[in-house]
Every structure is written in structure tokens, then in C-alpha cells.
């Protein structure tokens, strides 16, 4: 039985789990292999803090035992990766992108006569990005209900996806939603004694949430007119970014748009796109 993880009956409530360097290196290798997460040494404390609660829930006495647990329960990798993802997002985050969609992308979609329109929010987190896109589709796409229109919203985090599917946001999370849309596309409700807003079926029926690890094969066919992969590739190394950007390019229609986060750029990597403006690219 030597080496087997022996869950202790009850880990002390305030047990201070310390992550040793060797343990950290093993965890970061596993996270890279599974999801291409690039956890350099500066992230050791973050990893320790993010996984502590999990160790406690499993009743393990330390990271050494957790590594053994991972070996014996390979499905635990998914949970670990999920806990290591950063899911920060907001409704209408990076508003200039939405202005750009309104001013250039939707006029192009309206003029092109596509009957099938597909947008992809790759790394959608808890749904704020695809629901914001759905508002724009409703507002700016001609004949949205007469066409075959869908936003594919994918993420590796099952926790984030389950929030996304619920479509329930605290009132303060709607602070960037323009007033005229707040009551048009969200319904006021109460959840756990708090004032909340739930997305209306008008929005949710335009969005399909799916689990997808961008590092794996992509099962969908495409093609897409617009792909947003904002604030996701910052967690990957250059090699992975390079590979993903080429794959995104293949999944776009000619003339399709690829949008990354404001603080990201493709300048350091070779890419087949035409640079349209900072953080916005177009397939020729
Ligand atoms: C910071 S959030 C960005 C959310 C949204 N795109 C935005 O800009 O507000 C990054 C998301 O990328 C997801 N992610 C990280 N690695 C991933 C991978 N290998 N495959 C799919 N999604 C991943 C995380 O789970 C997280 O929800």
C-alpha cells in the first residue's frame, strides 16, 4: 500500500497547506499537458491558494497526497484545471469592441446576406461575453429571427459554464449595461435574498454553451463570421498561441473577424490575419 493517498478522516479546518517547489512544478506540468495553462514559478502562491479548498474537501493532508490522488484519479485533472482558471469577466467588457461590432461587423453581416450566422465566444467564462453579443445581435442584426443565428460559447471551466447557463447576475454586475437594455433583456428577480437579474429567453435562445478545451480537437464544423477569444490566450505560451491563432483562422469565413483582448496582440506571433485595428483581425 506504500505511496497510496490515505484521505485523513478530517483535515483540520485551518490546516495551512504549503506547496513545495517540486510539487508546484509537477502541478504546473500537469496543467500544461491538460490545458496548456502556462503556470510559471511566479504563480506558486496562486496555485497553492486556489487548490487549498479542494485538498480540504478531499480530506487530504497535503499537496504530496494530492499528487498521489491525481495519479490514482486521473479525472481529478479536470477539477484541478477548472480551479486554476481565471474566470474574471464582465458584461460589455471592453466596450470599444462592441462599438466596432455595431459600426463595422454588423453592417457587413447585414450587407453580405448570410442566412447562417455563427459567432464564437471562445473562453466565455460565466456567460457575460456571449450574452452581451446576443444583445447586439438583437439590436443590430437585420431579421435576426428569420435567420439561422447562433453564438457558440465554450469554456474549459465547468463551474463557469454552469453559472453561464443559469444566466443570473447580481444587480451590480449590470452596471455597464446601457439603461435602455437593462429591463429589455434582463428580468429582475431575487436569489439568496439579493436583487438579481436573469437574462430573458430572447437572449438565451441565441446562445449554446459547451465544454471545450481549446487544447483538444474541436468537434464543431464552423465556419464562423466572428470569433472572440478575449483574455484567454494570455494564459498560454507563445507556441500555443501560435497554434490556436492558425486554427481560429481556418474556422472563419473569408472576411471574418477575429477579436482578442485589448491587452493582447498577435504582433509577436506569425499569423495569417490582416490587422484591422488594435486587437481586431480579419481573414482576407
Ligand atoms: C479571463 S476569462 C475571459 C472571459 C471573457 N472572454 C472576457 O474577456 O471577459 C478566461 C477564460 O478562459 C478559459 N480558459 C482557460 N484555458 C482554457 C482552455 N485551455 N480551453 C478553454 N477555455 C480556457 C477560462 O476557464 C476562463 O473562463
Q: Can you give the pLDDT at residue 1?
A: 39
User: pTM for the complete prediction?
Assistant: 0.94
Band of the pLDDT at 6, cuts 50, 70, 90? low
Q: Is the pLDDT of residue 109 over 50?
A: yes
Please calculate the CA angle 144-156-192 and round it to the nearest 5 degrees. 80
Strand-pair partners of 282: 257, 274
The 10s digit of each residue's pLDDT in 183-215 is 999 999 999 899 999 999 999 999 999 999 999
Residue pLDDT, tens place only, 49-61: 999 999 999 999 9
Is 89 touching ligand 1 by the criterion CB < 6 Å? yes
* Å from CA of 47 to ligand 1 middle: 17
Q: Is 127 left (phi over 0), alpha (psi -120 to 50) or beta?
A: left
* CB 256 near ligand 1, within 6 Å: no
Average pLDDT over residues 7-16: 57
Q: Rounding to the nearest 10 degrees, give the CA dihedral for residues 203, 206, 209, 210.
A: 180
Catalytic, 155? Answer: yes
Are 159 and 142 contacting, i.e. CB atoms less than 8 angstroms apart?
no
| pLDDT tens sequence across 141-167 | 999 999 999 999 999 999 999 999 999
Could you tell me if 37 and 31 are in contact, meaning their C-beta atoms sit under 8 angstroms apart? yes
Question: Is pLDDT of 99 > 80?
Answer: yes
Q: Which of 38, 84, 125 to mutate to test the pocket of ligand 1 (most atoms within 8 A of CB)?
A: 125
Is the confidence at residue 71, as pLDDT, over 50? yes
Ordered domains of the chain (ranges, CATH):
21-84 (1.10.155.10), 95-282 (3.40.50.150)
Which atom, in ligand 1's list, is nearest to the CA of 155? Answer: 22
Amino acid at each position: 500500500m506504500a505511496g497510496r493517498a490515505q484521505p485523513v478522516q478530517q483535515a483540520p479546518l485551518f490546516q495551512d497547506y504549503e506547496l513545495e517547489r517540486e510539487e508546484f512544478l509537477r502541478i504546473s506540468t500537469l496543467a500544461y499537458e491538460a490545458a496548456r495553462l502556462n503556470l510559471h514559478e511566479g504563480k506558486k502562491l496562486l496555485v497553492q491558494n486556489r487548490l487549498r479548498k479542494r485538498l480540504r474537501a478531499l480530506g487530504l493532508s497535503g499537496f504530496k497526497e494530492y499528487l498521489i490522488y491525481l495519479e490514482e484519479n486521473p479525472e481529478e485533472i479536470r477539477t484541478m484545471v477548472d480551479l486554476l482558471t481565471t474566470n474574471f469577466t464582465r458584461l460589455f467588457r471592453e466596450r470599444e469592441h462592441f462599438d466596432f461590432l455595431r459600426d463595422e461587423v454588423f453592417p457587413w453581416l447585414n450587407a453580405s446576406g448570410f442566412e447562417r450566422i455563427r459567432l464564437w465566444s471562445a473562453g466565455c467564462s460565466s456567460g457575460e461575453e456571449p450574452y452581451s453579443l446576443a444583445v447586439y445581435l438583437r439590436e443590430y442584426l437585420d431579421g435576426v429571427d428569420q435567420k439561422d443565428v447562433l453564438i457558440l460559447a465554450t469554456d474549459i471551466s465547468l463551474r463557469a459554464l454552469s453559472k453561464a447557463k443559469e444566466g443570473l447576475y447580481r444587480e451590480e454586475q449590470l452596471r455597464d449595461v446601457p439603461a435602455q437594455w437593462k429591463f429589455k433583456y434582463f428580468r429582475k428577480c431575487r436569489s439568496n435574498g439579493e436583487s438579481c437579474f436573469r437574462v430573458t429567453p430572447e437572449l438565451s435562445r441565441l446562445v449554446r454553451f459547451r465544454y471545450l478545451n481549446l487544447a483538444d480537437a474541436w468537434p464543431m464544423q464552423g465556419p464562423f463570421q466572428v470569433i472572440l477569444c478575449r483574455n484567454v490566450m494570455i494564459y498560454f505560451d507563445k507556441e500555443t498561441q501560435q497554434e490556436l491563432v492558425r486554427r481560429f483562422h481556418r474556422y472563419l469565413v473569408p472576411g471574418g473577424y477575429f477579436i482578442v483582448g485589448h491587452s493582447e496582440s498577435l504582433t509577436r506571433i506569425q499569423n495569417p490575419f490582416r490587422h484591422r485595428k488594435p486587437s481586431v483581425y480579419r481573414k482576407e
